[in-house]
A and B are shown apart, each in its own frame.
Chain A
Amino acid sequence: MGSPFLDRLRRLGVAPDGRLAAAGAPAPRPSVAVAAPAAEGGAPPVAGLEREGPSWVLTRRVSIYTRHGAAPLNPIDGLPTWAAAASRDPRFHDIPLEAWRFVDTETTSLHGGAGVWVFLVGIGRYVDGEFVVRQHLLAGPHLESDFLDAVRREIEDGRALVSFHGKSFDAPRIDDRFRLQGLEAVCRGRPHLDLIHPVKRHARNLWGDVRLRTVEERWLGFHREDDLPGAECPAQYFAWQRGGRHRLAEVFLHNHLDIVSLAALARRLLPVYGGAADIGCPVAAGMDRYEGGDPLGGLALMRAARPDVRVHRPLWVRACRAALAAGDLDLGRRLFRQVEADHPLDTGVAALRRRIDRLTARISQVPTRRQLAKERPKPHT
């Protein structure tokens, strides 16, 4: 108190959060007392949270015979094959379901950067008729290396990751924390099925968004009540860390439900891939199969598609090319007519039109307009 530097700082309107007050309105004088230390040694902030070595863990078990909303959780055959196709990663063929780790994190900011803490890592897996979720809590920023050790053990105990949007969000953030501690990254290079990609392929054109909440409601029949919005999670962690009132228990629940949804969603998407589903898009499923190493199965799925499915342009263009490459001109024409009706002016669609014209001409031996134009004698200049 009374230091010339702090006096100047206050006069210049710099608040302790570094923000600048409007010129001429000095920042309020806060007390310089530091908040009481968080409950690192004291009572756990959430009921059921237990010490495991230096780390805090909450374990919850869900029977695989319960339903998550309307969606079953029990594993079914074929998940690894589907995962290999959906993630375009053949390593999944050899990874049994028990070695999958369903991952979701809570961070202190949606922005990236070195100052963003991953404070809660929830990891779910199938064990003996149960789906077990273990949630690791960062008890304080100074305890991060112990926390990361626990997270590493949990992840390395499995052989693959399953997430929703985790390939570009959760995994890089977890790895960043390891690198910042001078440790080897743990997620990078590991087989990773990010469910947002198949969901995007199937749903983008149906709903207009691909948030997990929407997927839960539409495909899992699961509705959350009083769920703490993700954007409010960081504030709860800060409040706890600063010794204030917090709703950290709700953050744990929020994270837990996300992870159970991952398992239910993987289970729900498999029949789509098999072509026997009430949800999703058969063309997307066909392309999953086609690009995932089963071209014949993929084409068969696409052939079975009803004509009234909603068209997603880039997917349709790809599917149409695939059909033409496989020599299935009928399927190619059908897909093309669908996409052409919606996007007549698109350049990709125009390219397809030329290609189909060409193939048709080759079959019927009728010269195309282009060939005719070429053969027309040119005027001399």
Chain B
Amino acid sequence: MSLDAFLDALKTDRSLSDNVVAWHVAPGRNGSFAPFPDGVPSALRDVLARRGIARLYSHQAETCVHASAGRDTLIVTPTASGKSLSYNLPVLSSMLTEDADRRPTALYLFPTKALSQDQVAELHGLASELGDAIGCHTYDGDTPPDERRIARDRCDILVTNPYMLHVGILPNHARWVSFFRRLRWIVVDELHHYKGVFGSSVANVFRRLVRIARHHGGSPTFIACSATIHEPAAHFRRLTGRNPVVVDRNGAPAAERHHVFYNPPVMVPALGIRARAVDHVRKLTRRLMEQDVPSIVFGRSRSRVEVVTKYLRDAAAELGMPESKVATYRGGYLPALRREIEQGLRGGAIRMVAATNALELGVDIGALDAVVMMGYPGTIASYFQQAGRAGRRSGLSLSLLVGTSVPLDQFILTHPERVLAGVSESPVINPDNPVLLAQHVKCAAFELPFRRGDGFGDSPDAAELLRWLASEGGVLLERGDKYHWMADAYPAQDVSLDFVDPDSFIVLDTKDDTSLGMVARSDAATTIHEHAIYQHQGEQYHVEKLDWDGRRAYATRAAVDWYTDAETETKVAVLTEDERVETVAAIEGRGDVHVTTLATVFKRIRFYTHETLDSGNIALPPEELDTTAMWFALSEELVMRARLREGTRAGAVPGIAHLLRGLAPIFVRCSPADVRGFGEFEHDHFERPVIMLMDSVRGGVGFAETFFAKRRELVLAARDALAKCPCELGCPSCIGLNRGGRESKEAAGVVLDLLAAWSGTVRTASEETWEARS
């Protein structure tokens, strides 16, 4: 087999094998099967039999039994384990066993339209083979008005997304009475996708959904699917307010899979600069092509994928292969084109595909033997989703991660066990963020009056909030024993699921005025000031103009080899200390803070070498933010031991904040923009040096609480990352640039050692699991 030859080369060819930092073989596994449970009607069995499904994987049968008994069920299995059949089975079975007018209905929710395409195609296929009896409709922004009416009037299965549910369906539930009256199923796919502000908002949308369903007499059961994440049941509970039965024994067979982590060599030791990942990907894919191994290369951005595609085509030409054997695949491709690529792969006409991460979810392009990742895809869940693209049911497959020099990649390459344990970061949400809660209680009150004493999901603050909204100048009116909506507005329209602050900035492409993305106001001054380089889906855009009052930025695509970094003057006032643990090393705590940030200057910094090219001033108003934070306020004893008052060693304090923030995505599912780091040597509140991690969202969505609970893990990971960073003077992968050089890097090491040694008098369950795994 050709993949064997490639693996041999990877083991024996020094030019490759020297860069392999980890090699893990996940053994193959036979499937575990089960017969159809009794409740599955023969009509459905027949349709499945025609598709070659005569028996089920054990987890499919298990899910069907639990869900059919009315238990909320959470399926936690890897990619390509047949999870959509797991939820379609109980849903369709229940529909086939009731008369049309009493037939249960189901709401299928996918985080975005793109993630639903294949599941919906499969569902439509099943529904139509079962006869016209079951009406399955997609209801989203692209659904034309006529079809919307049909969906409302006779819909058994409604496929939609949280945005549509929030702004279109729930506020108009009077038009969906017959659907909600019969609502028995809420199917939530990609549960791990619901994180941060979005997840916290959706948790509130679920509170509203269940309220409306109950009002009309429906009593829905949740079935959710998740990638393998840390504490999945807890996430399910935070999101839905219910305790699920967890089905996590995967019955699907798997082939043997090799996970190889590959780190390009260090070229400039002082600054820790490594060879470019793309050059090594070029080398490796060429070998794969020589061996004719059907493969896919994932890149983080479209432009990188374009570069790789070019390399692949060049290699094909050199090897005398037709160029048509190489295909590119991007999000947004039409089904016909996708099928063409799939067929090409199956028939052997296509042997190499280069793809952006857009392909990661919800799309099945057939079986390949090797996956090459150019850069760590950001989360463990994504890693396994991409790795899952390779591997037929038998034989062996390869997942090859080629690291880039960003801190997260380097941490992962030096700690492969974190990934290979297969347990992804916990998504963090906080449905009870007061701002989000107020917005969604408003929406809920619009939808249906609250009775005095009614709760809102499991929120402890609903009663108080309702009184507040009914106070003078409020939107509610208390009459009889209820709070009634009494305002001229459509509140859902003003409530974003993605942002707490409604007045976010929109970034427009100067080329055609299309929207590139949104930036929270609190990040605007540092990320989209004039002349900033704005990163969007891995592409770089130069901000030409920022219209502060109009909340708009205009940016032009720019292929530059530098990025911008804004410096800020930040003041953090501590408002409450909700938790406080004092150790010899530090006061460890968390609470509410008020942050004032003034962006002062920005620097242009060259990629790879990190040299500062030049700098400019930023003249924008200061940004105010009320949020939650966790902190270490260092003790005098620690300051003395680490000699922080000497020379430039105080630079260790902001340096550690930088490092902790960079490592945050290892512990929770978040992006760098979700969390801010702050370090100050003389902080007013504690009168000590303070290292802080803050939630970057007004009111916080739970990061501070989570980091506080995991603070010991964080410190250990930071100590480790610092020790393993090959730089001498401090670099973006560790304490950042220009933070005092060798001295402060050394001091940072001492501080982290002492924090680790003395901290953590309070131990938490999550720490123990971390220790067990590491």
Contact = CB atoms under 8 A, between A and B. Distances in A.
A243 to B, nearest CB: 10
16 contacts: A5-B464, A9-B465, A18-B442, A23-B624, A23-B626, A30-B472, A31-B472, A33-B472, A113-B172, A113-B492, A114-B446, A114-B447, A140-B479, A141-B479, A142-B481, A235-B488
Given A14-B438, A142-B479, A241 B469 contact: no
A16 interface: yes
Nearest to A24: B624
B482 A142 contact: yes
A23 B474 CA distance: 20
Nearest to B578: A4
B477 A18 contact: no
A37 interface: yes
A318 B470 CA distance: 55
Contacts of A9: 434, 438, 465, 468
Contact of A14 (B177, B435, B490, B575): B435
The interface size bin for chain B is: 35 or more
B489 interface: yes
B175 A176 contact: yes
B472 A35 contact: yes
Nearest to A107: B488
Contacts of A114: 171-174, 446-448
B65 to A, nearest CB: 35
Interface string A12-27: 1111111010111100
A246 interface: no
A111 B490 CA distance: 6
Q: Which of B464, B480, B487, B501 has the largest number of chain A CB atoms within 10 A?
A: B487
B569 to A, nearest CB: 15
Interface in B441-470: 442, 445-449, 461, 464-465, 467-470
Given A32-B468, A114-B171, A180-B174, A24 B596 contact: yes
Interface in B464-506: 464-465, 467-475, 477-482, 484-493, 501-502
Contacts of A25: 624
Given A14-B438, A235-B488, 11 more contacts: A6-B464, A8-B699, A9-B468, A12-B434, A17-B474, A20-B435, A22-B624, A34-B471, A115-B487, A142-B482, A238-B488
B59 to A, nearest CB: 39
Contacts of B626: 11-13, 23-24
B592 A11 contact: yes
Nearest to B627: A12
A8 B592 contact: yes
A17 B446 CA distance: 12
A327 interface: no
Contact of B449 (A12, A112, A141): A141
Given A23-B698, A111-B490, A140-B479, A179 B174 contact: yes
Given A11-B626, A34-B471, A141-B477, A20 B502 contact: yes
A141 B698 CA distance: 34
Contacts of A32: 467-468, 471-472
Nearest to A19: B494
A255 interface: no
A115 B575 contact: no
Interface in B687-706: 698-699
Contacts, number: 154
Nearest to B445: A115
A5 B174 contact: no
Contacts of B449: 141
Contact of A23 (B465, B489, B501): B501
B266 interface: no
A242 B471 contact: no
**4 residue pairs, one from A and one from B, having the closest CB atoms:** A24-B624, A142-B480, A115-B446, A16-B474
Nearest to B522: A23
Interface in A24-65: 24-25, 30-35, 37
A11 B435 CA distance: 10
A215 to B, nearest CB: 26
B539 interface: no
A310 B468 CA distance: 58
A22 B521 CA distance: 10
Contacts of B448: 114, 180
A371 interface: no
Contact of A18 (B481, B491, B624): B491
A108 interface: yes
B19 interface: no
Contacts of B467: 32
A109 interface: yes
A234 interface: yes
Of the four ranges (under 10, 10 to 19, 20 to 34, 35 or more), the interface on chain A belongs to 35 or more
Interface of A: 3, 5-6, 8-9, 11-18, 20, 22-25, 30-35, 37, 108-115, 117, 140-142, 175-177, 179-180, 234-235, 238, 241-242
A234 to B, nearest CB: 4
Contact of B446 (A22, A113, A177): A113
Contacts of B445: 115
B361 interface: no
Contacts of A109: 487-490
Contact of A16 (B447, B472, B479): B472
A16 B469 CA distance: 5
Contacts of A23: 501, 521-522, 623-626, 698
B477 A31 contact: no
Contacts of B177: 179
B439 interface: yes
A15 to B, nearest CB: 7
Contacts of B487: 17, 108-109, 115, 238
A73 B570 CA distance: 73
B490 A5 contact: no
A234 B490 CA distance: 14
Contacts of A8: 434, 592, 699
Contacts of B461: 5
B488 to A, nearest CB: 4
B484 A108 contact: no
A287 B745 CA distance: 86
Given A5-B434, A5-B465, A20-B502, A11 B575 contact: yes
Contacts of B480: 140, 142
Contacts of B175: 176, 179
Contacts of A242: 477, 486
Nearest to B449: A141
Contacts of B481: 142
Nearest to A10: B468
Given A9-B468, A115-B446, A234 B434 contact: no
B561 to A, nearest CB: 35
Interface in B491-550: 491-493, 501-502, 521-522
Nearest to A27: B473
B471 A31 contact: yes
A108 B488 contact: yes
Contact of A115 (B171, B501, B624, B699): B171
Among A15, A23, A110, A180, chain B packs the most CB atoms within 10 A around the CB of A23
B484 A141 contact: yes
Given A17-B487, A30-B473, A32-B468, A112 B434 contact: no
A3 B491 CA distance: 26
Nearest to A11: B626
A156 B616 CA distance: 74
Nearest to A108: B488
Contacts of A31: 471-472
B500 to A, nearest CB: 8
Interface in B579-628: 592, 594, 596, 623-626
Contacts of A11: 575, 592, 594, 626
Contacts of B469: 16-18
A148 to B, nearest CB: 13
Nearest to A114: B447
Interface in B364-382: none
